[in-house]
Structure 1
Amino acid sequence: MLKRSSIPPYPQFYELFYTYATGVNPSLNNRINAIFRNGTSPSSDLAETLYEEFLKSDVDDRLTNVSERMTARIDAVHDAIDTAMTSATAYSGSLESATDDLEQALSPESFRALASRLLNETRRMQDTNRALEQQLQSSRDDIAALQRDLDDARRESMLDPLTKIANRKSFDEGMDVAIADASRTGDPLCLMMLDIDHFKNFNDTYGHQTGDQVLRLVAMLLKSNIKGKDLAARYGGEELVAILPSTDVEGAVIVAENIRKAIQAKELLKRSTNEKLGRITASFGVAAFQPSDTPASLIERADRCLYAAKHAGRNRVVSEKDLEGSLRRAAG
């Protein structure tokens, strides 16, 4: 759909159409379907508008909204239960009274009146129970929708709002889990760090909006070149990282090289003016987990490799093995 509409596959546009394809946001689907029915051809500007309206929102506001709706729904259920309990108490009293009456000798007229009274009380109780059932069914549906909203907000809270990959909080949690798993299983684990070369100069020359598009592009290329268990994250500024479980240094270097080449192959075009901005490159550092590592020590070694890559001329991948080889050559 993106290709057919000539919309660039930036993360936010991919998320928009992915959400449409899954059907989890009925309001978004209704809007896009109406656009298609009207024969309107989607554009980048229209996609940006839809994204801003349906998907981009403040997580705290969304959580507050979910909390308020949940509270209102719980209050409604409590009210319905209170009403049912009041009716049940009254009905119980009517049955006790009828039991006392039945223990006495009743005339046919009195017996008919008692039966009519009990029938009316039973019908009222049935009506109350039906209302409670409807209220509970409505609450189940509402709570299911609230759960989906809460899950969406929780996922969004773990994403970097610009690049739509994991944020620093999510990365920190992912590192703890990955190191714990590697320590338990003995499987290899690598951390890859990348930094966009001369990004500050690029920002100063072409503006922060264009710089943001570059960050989104690099994040998309990073995420699309790693496998399911891996975690891509924005570490800070123009630095991105990837946690690579079950991957040794040689495999991590191959992944980094693939990403480096993919970034270098992209020729940038400023959408507003069609001005060619040339190409960008990135430098990479790769470190492997050691049994004595903490998250901080693994990050420090990967950062050291990244610094070496930039110091050696940028647009290259440097791993710990490369640094060890350089030290051995210098010593020899």
Structure 2
Amino acid sequence: MGYANSAFDLLKRSGIPPYPQFYELLFTYATGVNPTLNNRINAIFRAGNTPSANLAETLYNEFLKSDVNDRMSAVSERMHARIDAVHEAIDGAMITANAYSGSLQTASGDLARDISPTAMKALADRLLAETRNMQETNASLEEKLEASRDDIASLQRDLDDVRRESLLDPLTKIANRKSFDEGMDTAIADAKITGDPLCLMIIDIDHFKNFNDSFGHQTGDQVLRLVAMTLKSNIKGKDLAARYGGEEFVAILPSTDLEGAIILAENIRKAIQAKELLKRSTNEKLGRITASFGLAAYRRGDTAGSLIERADRCLYAAKHAGRNKVFSENQLSELQSALPGVSAA
């Protein structure tokens, strides 16, 4: 808790947004477990430089950010090394066991013949020594297998962490396209079995390219994070928010009918519109952002592709109707019925 409070205090005093990666950076600094990182940050403070989100992101990328593929390779190498060690221990135990088995067979043949008391004592001593050797080998094997079990459990946790990271969008820290595709297949399979409603929401930030061109990609990235955080904070339970690509986001809404999805989308739309953007370096007001929404409900026989296609048509209709709107497939059907010549495809 002390480290956590120190990290939050540094975030507040520096005016750095409390995004997860920046908290992780300053929490690591507070613990002192990375001396190189601490030396760099201390040098920045001594030089009297004003910390900023850009500087924090640079430090995070340099010291803490790791590529998922690199981490997967490292875990794979550790797993191979541990498996090789287990094989080596088992091979050694098998050699000892085979030798012990041979000694027992030889002793059995000797005992079948009449042997002198002196030879019997020598045989017993030899078998006792080999039995002790076998016991020591088995004990060593048990220790190595126990260590391997602990290490493999640690590797499993690392693999779980890597898998979770592989399903997150690195910029917004919500689910990525891969995670969405898996979640969509699972949600449709569940809806087929249970008969519960299922809705899909597609969100597109209005005029995002113009915003990016006017204020720069870093500010555009902050807009993407803002929309992602707003979306994620408004869903709950089994709902899944994901970045679909570019400035598009999606939300899978199990056990939610179209009416409930419309209410949720309106709440998210208003929450996004209510936030005014400021450029921290100059306090310049950059205006407000808006987003358009398309909603579709699962129908018997739907695939992920067909459900996405209908939601996308609704999104196109919301854009065509002036943006900053929520459009459901019911509204699209009503519009097409009223104006037969209009197509949203």
- Which whole-Å CA distance do the structure 2 matches of 1:279 and 1:35 have between them? 41
Cα separation, partners in 2 of 1:314 and 1:30, compared to 1, 3 Å: closer
SS at match of 1:257: helix
**Mapped contact 1:287–1:298 kept (Cα < 8 A):** yes
1:247-274 residue CA offsets vs partner (Å, 9 max, x unmatched): 1111101111121122122232334555
What is aligned with 1:136? 145
**1:221 is aligned to 2:219:** no
Q: In 1, are the aligned partners of 2:22 and 2:60 still within 8 Å (CA)?
A: no
* Candidates 288, 291, 311, aligned match of 2:320: 311
Structure 1 residue 178, shift from structure 2 partner: 1.9
Question: Which of the residues 125, 142, 150 maps onto 2:134?
Answer: 125
Partner of residue 98, structure 2: 89
Indicate conservation of the 8 Å contact 1:84/1:132, yes or no: yes
- String of CA shifts for 1:8-39, please: whole Å, max 9, x gaps: 3435457x49xxxxxxxxxx988753379x9x
Mapped contact 1:11–1:216 kept (Cα < 8 A): no
Tell me if structure 2 keeps the 8 A contact 1:171–1:233: yes
Counterpart for residue 25 of structure 1: none
Letter in 1 for 2:189: A
Alignment correspondent of 2:343: none
Structure-2 change in CA distance of 1:256 and 1:112 (3 Å): same
Q: How many residues align?
A: 318
Cα distance in 2 for residues equivalent to 1:30 and 1:305 = 45
Structure 1 283/118 Cα, relative in aligned 2: closer, same or farther at 3 Å? Answer: same
- Which amino acid counterpart does residue 158 of structure 2 have in structure 1? D
Tell me which residue corresponds to 2:116.
106
- State the distance in 1 between where 2:82 and 2:270 align: 53
User: What's the C-alpha RMSD, in Å, of the aligned pairs?
Assistant: 3.2
2:292 is the counterpart of 1:283: yes
In structure 2, the partner of 1:182 is 191
Report whether the alignment pairs 1:168 with 2:166: no
Residue 3 of structure 1 and its aligned partner are, at CA, apart by 5.2
Distance 1:63 1:238 in 2: 28
- Output the CA distance in 2 between the equivalents of 1:256 and 1:114: 86
Identify if the C-alpha distance between structure 1 residues 286 and 82 changes in structure 2 by more than 3 Å, giving closer, same or farther.
same
Deviates more, 1:298-307 or 1:3-12: 3-12
TM-score calculated relative to the size of structure 2: 0.80
The C-alpha deviation readout for 1:223-262, integer Å capped at 9, x for no partner, is 1211121111111210111111111111101111121122
Q: Residue type of the partner of 2:187?
A: A
Choose from 158, 166, 169 the match for 1:157: 166
Give distance in 1, aligned partners of 2:33 and 2:109.
70
Cα gap change, 1:256/1:9 in structure 2, threshold over 3 Å: closer, same or farther? Answer: farther
Q: Which runs of 5+ in 1 are unaligned?
A: 18-27
Q: % of aligned pairs identical?
A: 70
Considering Cα pairs closer than 8 Å and 6+ residues apart, tell me whether 1 or 2 has the greater RCO. 1
5+ residue gaps, structure 2: 46-50, 341-345
Q: CA deviation at 1:64?
A: 2.3
Question: 1:76 maps to which residue?
Answer: 85
Give the Å deviation of 1:144: 1.1
Amino acid at match of 1:33: T
